[in-house]
Amino acid sequence: MAVEGCLMITETILYLAAFFSGLITAITVGISRVTFSGDCVLFAEVTWCNATAFSFTQLGNNGVCGFSIGLDVIVAFYALTVCCYHVAVFFKWTKERRWVMLPGIIINACWLLLLFIDSCILSVGFKRFCTSITEGQSIGSKITQCSADLSSLNWNLPKCSGEKSDHPSYSAGNFYGFLTTAQSASWFSVLFWALLLAARAARRCTSKEEIGSTEERKPMLS
């Protein structure tokens, strides 16, 4: 029971950590959209017209950011719910239902897979956007890295062809900081859910072994 108790406490802490990391991811991705007037810049691309001016040639898909925000919110509150359930069991406010262990393992595995996909989308989409911003070096742009202070740039210039930009007014703000935080929190979520999957599987195995040993200790009926 001591081993199972330690595993349960570990799970509770990990669920709480998963809640916060998921919430941070959702909030920071959401704020990054606010700085771009509700648009998602993941997988967006810009083209440099000259050394000082660029325009958007491809806007990001809002569904990508929506998927990330929605998934992380759902997973975060699932983690909080299970965390509260564990606390209730720990303080004996309710009995632990052993039958939920196997479904819990399956659900954790699903969350782990979805969050891994989400983290890859965030990382690849952000890298693609940043790469297009730094490509202006080839024509004399002084923007050498995406982490530079880009808030002073004009994000609302017309297209290189002279056509009016087809997006609302952008301010950009500290989009780099928000999306970098989102990526870090997202990958931490993947780590937490991987550990949760392992802990839940270990606790189920421990529980089965204890049940088996209890059955063996029962006196045989003649």
Give 4-61 pLDDT, tens digit per residue.
678 788 899 999 999 999 999 999 999 988 888 888 989 988 888 887 778 888 888 8
Q: Which two tokens stand for residue 209?
A: 């072994």
Among candidate residues 176, 183, 187, the one with its CA nearest the CA of residue 134: 176
Distance CA 53, CA 41 (A): 18
Task: Kindly state the greatest CA–CA separation across the chain.
Answer: 95
Q: Helix or strand or coil: residue 47?
A: strand
pTM of the model: 0.83
Determine the distance from the C-alpha atom of residue 199 to the mean position of all C-alpha atoms in its chain, rounded to a whole number.
Answer: 20
149 Cβ contact partners less than 8 Å away, ≥ 6 residues apart = none
pLDDT at 18: 96
Q: Which residues of the chain have pLDDT under 50?
A: 211-218, 220-222
Q: Is the dihedral of CA 83, 84, 85, 88 positive or negative?
A: positive
Tell me, what amino acid is at 85? Y
Is-contact 14 192, C-beta < 8 A? yes
DSSP label of 54: E
Helix, strand, coil percentages in the chain from 3-state DSSP, rounded to 5? 65, 5, 30
